Chains A and B, each alone.
Chain A
Amino acid sequence: MSTNSKLYLFVIAFLIAIFAFYNYLVYSSNGYVAVEKLSPMAVKGQQLFQNNRCWSCHQLYGLGGYLGPDLTNVYSDEDKGPLYFKAFLNSGVKSMPKFNFSEEEKDVLVEYMKQVDETGIYPNYDAEIEATGWVKLKYQNEE
């Protein structure tokens, strides 16, 4: 093996070592805002959200599909809220198919939305844009 190959192997080994440490930090890092862990009911809601591929059309924190609205703060939105959210589920509006969720299923989905809502804000209208190009986010429950 040539000298260069040894050098390249060393660089890769070095990067992988940093990557491993970095992953450890990311995996053990909690969200910036201390919130309760997802409750068993919210986990069921999350699984229903996945099983029905809600992410195909809807976003959470701007991540997901583009056909429907972002749902990050639908729970606490003064114009929407849990009843509004529930009403949409089985009505089949526009491209949204009619789902046949039971009351229990609607409740767990609402619970999931409630707990997502508690984690933060999106879109974050009170964020501060700094001259360095950095954006200082406003966090949930922050004065």
Chain B
Amino acid sequence: MKNKAPIYFLLFAIIVFFLGMFFGMIASFQYLLPEFLKEYLPFSKLRPFHVTSVISWIVLCATGSIYFFLTYVEKFKLFSPLLVKLHFIIFLLTGIAIYFSFAFDYTEGREYFAFKPILIVPILIGWILFGINYFKTLYKNVKGWPVYYWMWGTGIVFISYHLMEAHFWLLDFFRLNFIKDFAVQWKSTGSFTGSWNMLVYGISIYLMSKIKKDSDVARNKAAFFFYFLGLTNLMFGWAHHTYLLPTQPWIRYVAYAISMTEWIVLASIIYSWKRSVLKVEKENHPMAYRFLLATDFWIFLNIILALLFSIPAINFFTHGTHITVAHSMGTTIGINTTILFSALFFILHQLYPDFETDRKWVKRGFVSFNISLFFFWISLLIAGGKRSYWMYVSKSGLFSEMQDSLILYYISFFIFGIGIFVSLLIVAFPIFKAFFHKIKT
């Protein structure tokens, strides 16, 4: 393997993932003991570390996986191997700069992008380099793209756009009009999530077609129909995040209408439940297969939740509660992370075909990860339900009293959060070791 940059991306992603989870665990402990480390590492400092690290895990792992698939599995000659290296170096140095920015309180930015706004420039340059390399490579090599190539291309373009849009607040045209500014801020973050989902869901279809050895999975009409449906939701479906913001009603009408199209996705999942797409060739990819099965389960749970709170009458009661957190944790961990771990195991098999991935401890880690995530998710749902009751039904008592009444669920959230961390550490350890070995040889 001449170009090891994809593996560097993947190692970088795994490191920031565990750092991000570690920051998240300390932060969640402050729900139990509010005074813990608060003068040195207050929650407000830990949260940006946690959020930016885990988002970076998703985009870095997706990026590394796509580079790997193109170069190692598809054996395409990249338009420029140098650009991949440059891309990695830019992201690595920017990542370090972001951590410094957080550590020393240069946090002029906003939620999800709290770092010094100037740092968005190298991030954008990195995405542009990725885009150039991606489109130039594929244009030359592939005729009649399967759906995952469209999805990855779309993801790269829309991530670049929404990263820019997330910084429109720097312009007075947006900033001085609070409601417009706030709406655009949440538009950008909602669509940014939709954009990285394009990369990650594209990876899941790629894996399915490779594990099953059936390219039709990625070329049939249904695959393209769902791609365009996802793209439409990415573009216009963001406003369910801001139903309760006094924007012009038409923005919310559009979001309501578009969000409801996801019922088609749910119907399709239920329809195809019995004829699982992965019945053959799983013996070569036992862990990649298991993680994709877990993805199926988590998509099912989270899409029901998302569909319910996309109905304004339900959103009215769930908005601003931990039910929203359950959804974001459920999707980023349950869906994005399981797909990415499936990709990591698939890649491991490509690098070391004889490597036994379904070792006893790895399988145990996989099971305890899913159990921990389930209870973690349920704890958040119950906490959110109780908060909603306090807000809209009882309407009595102080905020701090409501928080104190949730302590049991916060304890459960914390304990199962540790469960997720330890389980994934067990699962990821052999992958990390093998990747590390690869870059040394």
* Residues of A bordering B, CB below 8 Å: 1-2, 4-5, 8, 11-12, 15, 18-19, 22, 26-27, 29-33, 35, 37-38, 43, 46-47, 50-57, 59-70, 92, 94-98, 115-116, 119-120, 122-125, 127, 129-130, 133-135, 137, 139-140
Contact = CB atoms under 8 A, between A and B. Distances in A.
Interface of B: 30-31, 34-35, 38-39, 42-45, 47-48, 105, 107-111, 114, 143-145, 150, 154, 168, 173-180, 182-184, 186-187, 224, 228, 231-232, 235-236, 241-249, 251, 254, 256, 311-316, 319-322, 325, 391-392, 395, 399-400, 403
B177 A50 contact: no
A54 to B, nearest CB: 7
A31 B47 contact: no
A43 B247 contact: no
Contacts of B395: 125
Given A5-B145, A61-B182, A133-B312, A22 B236 contact: yes
B45 to A, nearest CB: 7
- The B interface is mostly helix, strand or loop, or mixed, namely helix
Contact of B249 (A32, A35, A43, A127): A32
A33 B242 CA distance: 15
B228 A11 contact: yes
B243 A1 contact: no
Nearest to A65: B47
Contact of B320 (A46, A51, A70): A70
A51 B34 contact: no
Contacts of A52: 44, 107
A-B complex: 8 closest residue pairs judged by Cβ atoms: A62-B320, A31-B179, A95-B34, A56-B44, A120-B246, A2-B144, A37-B176, A69-B399
A135 to B, nearest CB: 4
Given A95-B34, A95-B43, A134-B313, 15 more contacts: A5-B145, A27-B184, A29-B247, A30-B177, A31-B246, A33-B246, A35-B179, A50-B107, A56-B47, A63-B242, A97-B42, A119-B179, A125-B392, A135-B312, A135-B313
A19 B235 CA distance: 6
Contacts of B314: 133
Given A1-B143, A30-B177, A129 B316 contact: yes
Given A8-B150, A134-B256, A94 B235 contact: no
6 contacts: A1-B143, A27-B168, A27-B184, A31-B246, A33-B246, A62-B244
Contacts, number: 183
Contact of A123 (B224, B247, B392): B392
Among A37, A47, A62, A94, max chain B CB count under 10 A is at A62
A67 B248 CA distance: 30
A50 B143 contact: no
Most chain A C-beta atoms within 10 Å of own C-beta, residue among B34, B43, B144, B178: B178
A52 B30 CA distance: 18
Given A8-B224, A15-B232, A70-B320, A50 B176 contact: no
A135 B176 contact: no
B39 A97 contact: yes
A27 B143 contact: no
B325 A66 contact: yes
